Amino acid sequence: MAAEGKLHMFVANFLYHCGLSSWQVNSEISHAVSNSVEEPFVLVDPDDKPVLNYFSHNPTTVHGPTTDGYYVVYHVGTGSQSSHGPPIHCNESGSDGPVHSVRKQLEPEFVDPPAQITVETLYSKTMAGPWTKLAVSGSMCPNPGAWLFKNGSVLLACKIAIDAAANKQMVMYTAPSWRGPFKLAQITPVFGEDQHIWQDPRGHFHMLLHSLLPHKVGTTAWSPDGLHWTPNGFAGPPNPNPRESIPRFINLAGGGVKTLSRRERHQLLFNSQGWPIALYNGVTSLNDARPDRSWTSVQPIHA
């Protein structure tokens, strides 16, 4: 997000040289800044003190300022030590063995969307912080994707697991403010995860996400009202066939192409008119010596 003369980004950092496979135990949320899309981001705190300790993950695009003057970041994780275990330690070559057994135990199955949901939330009066965690309880929104309207109300996309085959379906919630309460509004025909939603200046809604079946296809969906969505190719059971909207490679500014194994967590940077000017992703590289080594990519969008 552009604010206070800087670009601000909230990222999931992995402790102790570990990679993406450690996310459920090693992830913490950190704040980084940059002067422009073309320049690197630098962690704000010189001591690398996180905004929120482990376990915390999947911070959304920064929203704000809200009608009551706050900046808001939705995320997952409580910021206290994970119930899945303490962080693991990896060497420079990486290690993901201990985490795979944990991950297999955590996937929910056959979940019905609750009538009301809560969201792990950080808020602050300034981008520099301090950031406060909103006290929430009840059914949580996995991988929240939110859009805040100028009147203060919120549209929220959450995913639910509908079967044991990793099919995740998008469900829409609405709330009168960023604090909630978030109430069920619509179950959509969109399947996938890491959803990012936004409304363009014409009033049309868009969703960026990736399918889970087949493997990690970056795709999109559209809506006239934020509730009723049309996917770009069907990604649900029994025969998923989403159309690729976001390729699994990046053209590099200095020439050449970076081929990716995973390109997830699609999030956009907008200009002052409300149009996207850059796409940010969490990615892993194909044929990397450390297959779960993850980093953040940025790709400018040209009109």
pLDDT of res. 19 = 86
SS3 content of the chain, % helix, strand, coil (to 5): 5, 40, 55
pLDDT of res. 165 = 65
**251-276 confidence digits (pLDDT tens):** 888 889 999 989 999 999 999 999 99
pLDDT of res. 253 = 82
pLDDT surpasses 80 at 4: no
Q: What is the DSSP string of 102-124?
A: HHHTT---SPPPPSEEB-EEEEE
Structure-token pair, residue 217? 């296809």
pLDDT of res. 21 = 85
Question: Coil, strand or helix: which one is 251?
Answer: strand
Instruction: Name, in order, each residue with C-beta under 8 angstroms of 38's C-beta and a sequence gap of 6 or more.
Output: 253, 300
**Interval 87-114 mean pLDDT:** 59
pLDDT surpasses 90 at 105: no
**120-167 confidence digits (pLDDT tens):** 999 999 998 999 999 998 889 988 999 999 999 999 999 988 776 678
Question: What global pTM score does this model have?
Answer: 0.91
**Interval 230-253 mean pLDDT:** 92
Instruction: Name, in order, each residue with C-beta under 8 angstroms of 64's C-beta and a sequence gap of 6 or more.
Output: 1, 3, 70, 71, 72, 148
Question: pLDDT band for position 204 (50/70/90)?
Answer: very high
**61-100 confidence digits (pLDDT tens):** 899 999 999 999 999 999 987 777 888 888 766 554 444 4
**5-61 confidence digits (pLDDT tens):** 889 999 999 988 888 888 888 999 999 999 988 888 998 876 678 999 999 999 998
194 or 110, higher pLDDT = 194
pLDDT of res. 107 = 45
Burial of 227 (0-12, 13-18, 19+ CB in 10 A): middle
CATH class held by domain 2-300: mainly beta
Please state whether the peptide bond connecting residue 130 to the residue before it is cis, i.e. omega within 30 degrees of 0: yes
> How far is Cα 144 from Cα 76, in angstroms, rounded to an integer?
8
**Interval 183-195 mean pLDDT:** 96
- Kindly list the domain boundaries of the chain, sorted by start residue: 2-300
Proportion of the chain above pLDDT 70, given as a percent: 91
